[in-house]
Structure 1
Amino acid sequence: MKKLKKVLLVFLAATMVMALSACSGSSEAESAKSSQTASSNVKVGFIFLHDENSTYDLNFINGATQACEAAGVEYMLKTNIPEGQECYEAACELADAGCDIVFADSFGHEDYMIEAAKEYPNVQFCHATGTKAHTEGLSNYHNAFATIYEGRYLAGITAGMKLNEMIKSGKITEDQAKIGYVGAYTYAEVISGYTSFFLGARSVCPSATMEVTFTGSWYDETAEKEGANKLIEDGCVLLSQHADSMGAPTACEKAGVPDVSYNGSTASACPNTFIVSSRIDWAPYFAYIIDAVANGKEISTDWVGTLETGSVVLTDLGGAAAEGTAEAIAEAEAAMKAGKLHVFDTTTFTVNGETLTSYMADVDTDADYTADTEVITDGYFAESSPEFRSAPYFDLQIDGISLLDTAY
């Protein structure tokens, strides 16, 4: 009898475990289903300055479609929206169309996005490269950027490796290791980009110098091509850019000058000169804001993507890359992730011959660009810090870089 009771007890216990497991599995399944349903109820609207013909906007478009399709959410795209009242109108149209999130991708869209955010308090407005979220104090307006200066630095290493190869082969001498750079505007974002690129190049090729020219436009293929040709004629033996068309890369391909592009590979159009490209992958940010809205979480006022979040990436190396480049990139990236390499380490550059120990940057944007925040921390310039703001504020003109002109 005791043996029978024992068997019955074991059977009952096993039955209860199975029942509890079934309930647990059901609960997990319901939770997953609930989360999926929450995401599927989110609708996202995107505003782009240009269309897929712009390398800059195409990078955003690819990230947007990738993130939305992965999350199973509905989305709307508005392309070729100027940095004017048209942006406000587009933002309102997207909000009226039921979008829970409205995102814009260009610096000049910011004031119009803020205007729309005030009018639609129940819609989340997110903006790339903007500077005002941390001072506006709106719960539904947010800025985002990434530590792309780290990607630029790594891309700069590929340039320095190429210069070393050219020096070793006798194609150029050490004092001819001059880089050309085509920039859009003389803004902090562009200055930060070309400076970090130069520092990366000089970390492996100490004799490197740089000349920069500006087009006064984010997208002007003719001006970018003319700028590239001017730099090549002036003796620049390798080029890079912070402008959005194929003007500079195609000029390099025609002239046989090695090129480091931005926002995507140009290998198919420039097979003989393409080295590498750095870019911000925006898919992680879009996934983040979709999840936040779907699950009632707060969106960071200033979100900063990093190498670790998969937001800062390099393309595959092109055929023009020098031998040993992949290993040099891997070594530097590991040092960055370990906190042993800081791009704007003040011991690696000077300004007017002096090493910086302090610098007040214009972080809280105002019309007079008033310096307001100490940004030298532990011996390096703390660029795009979540503590300050996500968009770049590095605006120093360091030694070794010459500006041929300016455009504000």
Structure 2
Amino acid sequence: MKLRKFLALALAVTTVLSMSVLTGCSSNSGSSSEKSAETTETGETAGETKGEATNLKDIKIGFIFLHDENSTYDKNFIDAANAAKEALGLSDEQVIFKTNIPESSECYEAAADLADRGCNIVFADSFGHEQYIAQAAAEFPDVQFCHATGTTAHTAGLDNFHNAFASIYEGRYLAGIAAGMKLNEMIADGEFTEDEAKIGYVGAYTYAEVISGYTSFYLGAKSVCPSVTMEVQFTGSWYDETAEKEAANTLISRDCKLISQHADSMGAPTACESAGVPNVSYNGSTVSACPNTFIVSSKIDWAPYFEYIVNCVANGEAIDADWCKGIAEGSVVLTDLNDAAAAEGTAEAIAEAEEKLVSGDLHVFDTTTFTVDGAALDSYMADVDTDADYTPDTEVISDGYFHESEMRSAPYFDLRIDGITTLNEMF
């Protein structure tokens, strides 16, 4: 991930600087300050200056999706966009979808087209879209450009460029509890022994986002099934049904008793259904296709963010340069449990943990619950990019836990903890 992130970041910064020269560094419409990464006298930072209010009926928002409804990842965004549209009372003419937009210059072209068509807000949903959204933001200062999973908006120096994510590790931890409860049930039923409690995980890439996700899932499972171990198989793609199915089957052949995933197709869930292996999916319920094996799914609910950015423009208020919310705010949710597959007591165990997460009595990455190479951690310098100078490392462990998604919205937990084995590292 670091190489890809570095290249994307370098290109984005170069693009932003060059486009700023071409546009004379003009500020966003209605803004009273120049674009700057420095804090102003009012405490506002770049990406947070206020503008003029816009009547809600005059707002138009364009969405750029990497895939379409066939991808669970993109479907989750599409469903949230439709939910926000209904909640805000927007008409069909006020919302434009562009699907199957790759992480290439086609993204910039799509963003520019949406701006030319009168969109006040443009949103893109994939990490690799970021540099092209930054390019469009520099060229169209009167349009607000928002991007999911990115890392550069808070240091780019553009008032109209914004990143957003959610504390999905909280949801994955809770889903992990459901997995651990299922393992305990299977152990109690004599299907295998405690030392055979192994789960498999289908991951896309070795990015911090994926590592954070599978680690939080594992820690959730471990919190109720202490003997659990996990193996991770990477596919090298966010969406490759064949590769994801093959990865799941590989893990099943290696005696993994339950499978989860950070990948976007139905490959892994359907492989589990065919093999009769319990499955915890991601980004939405797969119960209709996998009625016998689906347990639960965690997901980010993007509707609150979409409503937030539209209301900001309508009210002439600043959009956060780097936005992140979690379970407490309704931005991270679990689907309904499938009682046909979930273990007895799962709902109660999840509810108890969720209450503690919200109250702050429980932290997902509590450093007393894991080790790295046999040792506990009391310090870790993470690559967070917290300022305009791109300071490479920031201390992220304090008060006994790793502070994920607090220094920036996008995940940066990239530790390889004990108990988890990765089977391939080419991605």
TM-score, length of structure 1 as denominator length: 0.89
Structure 1, residues 236-270: CA drift from partner, whole Å, max 9, x if none?
01000000000000000000000000000000000
Is the Cα–Cα contact under 8 Å of residues 54 and 315 in structure 2 kept in the other structure? no
| Structure 2 Cα separation of the partners of residues 174 and 207 of structure 1 | 6
For 2:284, the aligned partner's letter is: G
Shift of 1:304: 0.5
Answer with 1 or 2: which has the greater Rg: 1
For 1:186, the aligned partner's letter is: T
For 1:228, the aligned partner's letter is: A
Equivalent residues in 2 for 1:77-88, closer than 5 Å? 77-88=97-108
Specify which of 23, 40, 53 is matched with residue 57 of structure 2: 40
Structure-1 residue corresponding to 2:144: 124
Question: Which shows bigger deviation, 238-247 or 69-78?
Answer: 69-78
Structure-1 residue corresponding to 2:13: none
Structure-1 residue corresponding to 2:29: none
Is the Cα–Cα contact under 8 Å of residues 302 and 390 in structure 1 kept in the other structure? yes
| Structure 2 Cα separation of the partners of residues 365 and 109 of structure 1 | 21
Question: Which shows bigger deviation, 69-78 or 323-332?
Answer: 69-78
Specify which of 360, 363, 369 is matched with residue 348 of structure 1: 369
Structure 1, residues 86-114: CA drift from partner, whole Å, max 9, x if none?
00000000000000000000000000000
Give the RMSD, CA atoms, in angstroms. Answer: 1.6
Structure-2 residue corresponding to 1:9: none
SS of aligned partner of 1:80: coil
Is the Cα–Cα contact under 8 Å of residues 204 and 236 in structure 2 kept in the other structure? yes
Equivalent residues in 2 for 1:4-403, closer than 5 Å? 38-73=55-90, 74-318=94-338, 319-364=340-385, 371-385=392-406, 388-403=407-422
SS of aligned partner of 1:347: coil
| Structure 1 Cα separation of the partners of residues 191 and 255 of structure 2 | 13
| Structure 1 Cα separation of the partners of residues 167 and 175 of structure 2 | 13
Aligned residues: 370
For 2:128, the aligned partner's letter is: G
SS of aligned partner of 2:351: helix
| Structure 2 Cα separation of the partners of residues 76 and 88 of structure 1 | 16
Ranges in structure 2 where 5+ consecutive residues have no aligned partner = 1-52
SS of aligned partner of 1:348: coil
| Structure 2 Cα separation of the partners of residues 117 and 70 of structure 1 | 27
| Structure 2 Cα separation of the partners of residues 83 and 37 of structure 1 | 31
Structure 1, residues 271-298: CA drift from partner, whole Å, max 9, x if none?
0000000000000000000000011000
Structure 1, residues 152-172: CA drift from partner, whole Å, max 9, x if none?
000000000000000000001
SS of aligned partner of 1:99: coil
SS of aligned partner of 1:241: strand
Residues 48, 365 of structure 1: alpha-carbon distance in 2 compared, 3 angstrom cutoff: farther
Ranges in structure 1 where 5+ consecutive residues have no aligned partner = 1-35
Is the Cα–Cα contact under 8 Å of residues 173 and 364 in structure 2 kept in the other structure? yes
Is the Cα–Cα contact under 8 Å of residues 54 and 316 in structure 2 kept in the other structure? no
Structure 1, residues 346-396: CA drift from partner, whole Å, max 9, x if none?
110000011111101111199xx98411111211110011xx210000000
Residues 195, 269 of structure 1: alpha-carbon distance in 2 compared, 3 angstrom cutoff: same
Residues 333, 229 of structure 1: alpha-carbon distance in 2 compared, 3 angstrom cutoff: same
Structure 1, residues 150-204: CA drift from partner, whole Å, max 9, x if none?
0000000000000000000000100110000000000000000000000000000
| Structure 1 Cα separation of the partners of residues 380 and 254 of structure 2 | 33
Is the Cα–Cα contact under 8 Å of residues 215 and 407 in structure 1 kept in the other structure? no
Question: Which shows bigger deviation, 304-313 or 90-99?
Answer: 304-313
For 2:344, the aligned partner's letter is: E
**Percentage of matched positions with identical amino acids:** 74
| Structure 1 Cα separation of the partners of residues 54 and 114 of structure 2 | 22
| Structure 2 Cα separation of the partners of residues 407 and 315 of structure 1 | 32
Structure 1, residues 288-328: CA drift from partner, whole Å, max 9, x if none?
00000011000001111211211100000012000000000
SS of aligned partner of 1:260: strand
If each structure's helix is expressed as a fraction of its own residues, which one has the higher value?
A: 1
For 2:273, the aligned partner's letter is: E
Structure 1, residues 198-253: CA drift from partner, whole Å, max 9, x if none?
00000000000000010000000000000000000011010000000000000000
| Structure 1 Cα separation of the partners of residues 96 and 291 of structure 2 | 35
| Structure 1 Cα separation of the partners of residues 366 and 377 of structure 2 | 10
For 1:402, the aligned partner's letter is: T
Is the Cα–Cα contact under 8 Å of residues 157 and 328 in structure 1 kept in the other structure? yes
Shift of 1:82: 0.2
| Structure 2 Cα separation of the partners of residues 394 and 37 of structure 1 | 39
| Structure 2 Cα separation of the partners of residues 117 and 406 of structure 1 | 35
